[in-house]
Amino acid sequence: MRCQRCRGDAVVEVRRHHAAFCSDHFIEFFDRQVQRAIEDERMFTRDDRVLVAVSGGKDSLALWDVLRRLGYAATGLYINLGIGGYSDDSHRKTVAYADAHGADLLVADIPQEFGMSVEELARATRRVSCSACGLSKRYLFNRVAIDHGFTVVATGHNLDDEAAVLLGNLLHWQTEYLARQSPVLSSTHPKLARKVKPLYRIAEREAAAYAIVRGIDYIVDECPNSVGAKSLLYKEALNLLEQASPGAKQSLYWGFLERGRALLGTQGVVALRACVHCGQPTTAEVCAFCRMTERAAERMRVRRGGGAGAPAAAAPVGAAGAPDAGGSG
Amino acid sequence: MKVMIRHQRREVEVRGRRRVRELLVELGVNPESVLVIRGAQLLTHDAQLGDDDTIELRPVVSGGID
């Protein structure tokens, strides 16, 4: 197979674009798609300070890498979730990337700050792990961004992620979620950072190919808690469609962005106020993260026989100030 | 050739020359869900494979994203 640009040996085929590329021209294709996403959706400019949520996986490391190469001021944020060896490996890969490329990295540590891992938080509050994990990450992404003066938080959600979420929302006609699904979530509160997904034009396979072509050492193994996740089922279904009909995923998601979301109006817009405990924006009096950590701390007290009023197992909930963030390369 | 299927944590031995796309069909793997790697090199679906090759099928699908 030949590169469609230079006729050299191709290494990546992009069937949805009827194209194949050599390494150099694949990087050029990738850059163009990301740049277009940033500009089309007005995500940020080179004057913005961008906080990139980095997990050590292919998507987030690829995002961090491409933003830095394109000249954006991108600082990484790694959150230690306390998921045993998986968290150790993902932390190592993230630090290795930062050290090798001289990239700025902040680190937040959930077990250290809140006294328990996301798995323990999930167990103590009878949530599924992905729910406790997602809630914790969203909370810390925003808090670290606001505390450190970042104007925008970028995550590595790719075309496949967004198409899978869309399929899930459509299957259950979650109209409020559908109305909110977007590559850009604007700031609607002084303490809410804008959230953007610059890889929404990039297929998951292309993000992995980018990481390999760029020589980025990422964590290949999946989070042990993701086994059986619904998103994997939706992705499998979408990949069957994509195999038979290249471009199916982009047609579904980009078509939704161009034509579908306008039909849903503004039902996704909600009024926000400051959480009375931590000050982070929330729709309720106490934010969902504080409620979760408070409940978990209370359960731990009861389990240890302390009862109400005994010393908390977790650190003060929603403690003000920055998480345990430090430079690391 | 030796084929390491990362996401199934298994390794299979396959005999005879064939193209990447034929190998994936034989193994029942959707080409959208993996990258095929020989050494450090990515392979396209028309690449020819031989008995002496060691191939990695690397999954590209991440899950659990909320």
Taking only the tens of pLDDT, chain B with its 66 residues reads 999 998 778 899 999 999 999 999 999 999 999 999 999 999 999 999 999 999 999 999 987 544
Higher pLDDT, B64 or A142: A142
Element (H, E) at A97: helix A84-101
Cα–Cα–Cα angle for A168, A153, A329, rounded to 5 degrees:
125
Q: Report the pLDDT value the prediction gives residue B64, as an integer from 0 to 100.
A: 54
A5-9 average pLDDT score: 97
Task: Using the predicted structure, report yes or no on whether residue A174 has a pLDDT greater than 60.
Answer: yes
Task: Using the predicted structure, report yes or no on whether residue A314 has a pLDDT greater than 90.
Answer: no
A107-128 average pLDDT score: 93
Q: Report the pLDDT value the prediction gives residue B19, as an integer from 0 to 100.
A: 97
Q: Report the pLDDT value the prediction gives residue A224, as an integer from 0 to 100.
A: 86
What secondary structure does DSSP assign to A22-56, as a single string?
A: -HHHHHHHHHHHHHHHHHHTT---TTSEEEEE--S
Banded pLDDT at A317 (limits 50, 70, 90): very low
Banded pLDDT at A315 (limits 50, 70, 90): very low
Banded pLDDT at A306 (limits 50, 70, 90): low
A178-197 average pLDDT score: 95
The rounded distance, in Å, linking the Cα atoms of A89 and A219 is: 7
Task: Using the predicted structure, report yes or no on whether residue A304 has a pLDDT greater than 90.
Answer: no
Q: Report the pLDDT value the prediction gives residue A228, as an integer from 0 to 100.
A: 75
Q: Return the CA Rg of chain A.
A: 20
Cβ A20–B44 below 8 Å, yes or no? Answer: yes
Nearest C-alpha of chain A: how many angstroms from B15? 24
Q: Which of A131, A158, A167, A235 is the best mutation test for B, with the most CBs of B within 10 A? A: A235
The rounded distance, in Å, linking the Cα atoms of A139 and A142 is: 5
A200-205 average pLDDT score: 98
Q: Report the pLDDT value the prediction gives residue A90, as an integer from 0 to 100.
A: 96
The rounded distance, in Å, linking the Cα atoms of A181 and A323 is: 28
Percentage with pLDDT > 90 across chain A: 82
| Residue of chain B whose alpha carbon sits nearest to that of A208 | B60
Cα–Cα–Cα angle for A86, A89, A93, rounded to 5 degrees:
140
Task: Report residue B50 as tokens.
Answer: 């031989």
Q: Report the pLDDT value the prediction gives residue A51, as an integer from 0 to 100.
A: 98
Provide the 8-state DSSP code for A6: T
Closest CA to A324 of A91, A7, A32, A70: A91
Q: Report the pLDDT value the prediction gives residue A307, as an integer from 0 to 100.
A: 57
Banded pLDDT at A227 (limits 50, 70, 90): confident
SS3 assignment, position A47: coil
Cβ A229–B63 below 8 Å, yes or no? Answer: yes
The rounded distance, in Å, linking the Cα atoms of A212 and A206 is: 10
Task: Using the predicted structure, report yes or no on whether residue A161 has a pLDDT greater than 60.
Answer: yes
Percentage with pLDDT > 70 across chain A: 92
Q: Report the pLDDT value the prediction gives residue B56, as an integer from 0 to 100.
A: 96
Out of B6, B32, B41, closest to residue A239 by CB: B32
Provide the 8-state DSSP code for A258: I
Task: Using the predicted structure, report yes or no on whether residue A266 has a pLDDT greater than 80.
Answer: no
Question: What are A270-279's pLDDT values in tens digits?
Answer: 889 999 999 9
Q: Letter for the amino acid at A88?
A: D
Quote the longest CA-to-CA distance of chain A.
72
Out of A11, A209, A232, closest to residue B61 by CB: A232
Provide the 8-state DSSP code for A165: H
Task: Using the predicted structure, report yes or no on whether residue A310 has a pLDDT greater than 60.
Answer: no
Task: Report residue A320 as tokens.
Answer: 């003000």
A142-170 average pLDDT score: 97
The rounded distance, in Å, linking the Cα atoms of B42 and B60 is: 13
Q: Report the pLDDT value the prediction gives residue A268, as an integer from 0 to 100.
A: 60
Q: Letter for the amino acid at B19?
A: R
Question: What are A8-35's pLDDT values in tens digits?
Answer: 999 999 999 999 999 999 999 999 999 9
Q: Return the CA Rg of chain B.
A: 12
Q: Going by DSSP bridges, is the β-strand pair A281-282/B2-5 parallel, antiparallel, or unpaired?
A: unpaired
Task: Using the predicted structure, report yes or no on whether residue A107 has a pLDDT greater than 80.
Answer: yes
A307-323 average pLDDT score: 39
Out of B33, B37, B42, closest to residue A239 by CB: B33
Task: Report residue A201 as tokens.
Answer: 């034009």
Q: Report the pLDDT value the prediction gives residue A36, as an integer from 0 to 100.
A: 98
Task: Using the predicted structure, report yes or no on whether residue A184 has a pLDDT greater than 60.
Answer: yes
Q: Which residues on chain A are in Cβ contact (under 8 Å) with B47?
A: 1
- The complex's ipTM works out to 0.94
Residue partners of B54: CB distance under 8 A and separation at least 6:
B1, B2, B4, B38
Q: Taking a C-beta distance cutoff of 8 angstroms, is the pair B14, B23 a contact?
A: yes
pTM of this structure: 0.91
